Structure 1
Amino acid sequence: MKHYIEILKRFNDFKGEANYSEFACFAAYHCVIICVLLFLGYAVVHPLAIKVINTLSGLFIVGTLLPCIALFVRRLNALGRNPKLVLIGLVPVVGLAYLFFICLKKD
């Protein structure tokens, strides 16, 4: 969890580098948190609670978008790739998956 908090604190650092363990830990924790929020959205039956959980899920995703992009750029810097490659993530499912697998390469 330490890596997750540290990466959220470095949301505006696009010049540095991120190692494999930082990226992998952040990706794992981020996916788990999003899955838990989505599960709660489907498990709850009260309409007001559903709206609250969906709103919190949306705010979480939007709030962590900049730290995620910064982490991808730092990881691409560490791999020696062009940081503009992060724009491939704009392609709907395939581009983001391709970018993710590039960043999962070990140093």
Structure 2
Amino acid sequence: MNWYLEVLKKYAVFNGRARRSEYWWFVLFNIIISLALGAIDGVTGTFSQAAGLGLLGGLYTLAVLLPSLAVTVRRLHDTGRSGWWFLIMFVPLIGAIVLLVFMLLDSKPGQNQYGANPKAVTA
């Protein structure tokens, strides 16, 4: 839960680096919360079939959009890549696979142009 809260505290911080664990814990909690809100939307009748999203789920998605982008950019920085690599996601199919691989890669050791290795700082 701490990883999730840390990402939210860095709401719009696009500089620096994010460890794999920080990124993936944030993704896991987002999935769990989205599923729970989707179930609540379904039970309360606020789910829209046309939009494919419910009221609570939509509000949550808007609330975490910027932190999600920020942690993704910081994760790319941790692998030694520019945050602009995020745009590869818009290449159908292959872009999402490439971005997933980048998110799974280990940190670049030592300091890079984006800052100190977060593994070394917290270890």
Shared fold (TM-score, shorter chain, > 0.5): yes
Aligned amino acid, residue 18 of structure 2: A
TM-score, normalization by structure 1: 0.81
Q: Identify the match of residue 50 of structure 1 among 45, 51, 68.
A: 45
Aligned to 1:102: 102
Aligned to 2:118: none
Select the structure of larger CA radius of gyration: 2
Alignment of 1:1-107 (within 5 A): 1-42=1-42, 44=43, 49-51=44-46, 54-91=54-91, 95-107=95-107
Structure having the larger proportion of residues in helix:
1
Report how far residue 62 of structure 1 moved.
1.0
TM-score, normalization by structure 2: 0.72
The higher relative CO (CA closer than 8 Å, separation ≥ 6) is in: 1
Structure 2 segments unaligned to the other structure (5+ residues)? 48-52, 108-123
Compared CA separation, residues 62 and 94, structure 1 to 2 (3 A): farther
Structure 1 segments unaligned to the other structure (5+ residues)? none
Q: Identity over the aligned pairs, expressed in percent?
A: 33
Contact residue 41 and residue 56 of structure 2 kept, 8 A: no
Contact residue 76 and residue 103 of structure 2 kept, 8 A: yes
Contact residue 24 and residue 104 of structure 1 kept, 8 A: no
Structure 1 Cα separation of the partners of residues 45 and 92 of structure 2 = 27
Aligned amino acid, residue 14 of structure 1: F
Structure 1 Cα separation of the partners of residues 5 and 91 of structure 2 = 28
May I ask how many residue pairs the two structures share in their alignment?
102
Structure 1 Cα separation of the partners of residues 71 and 37 of structure 2 = 22
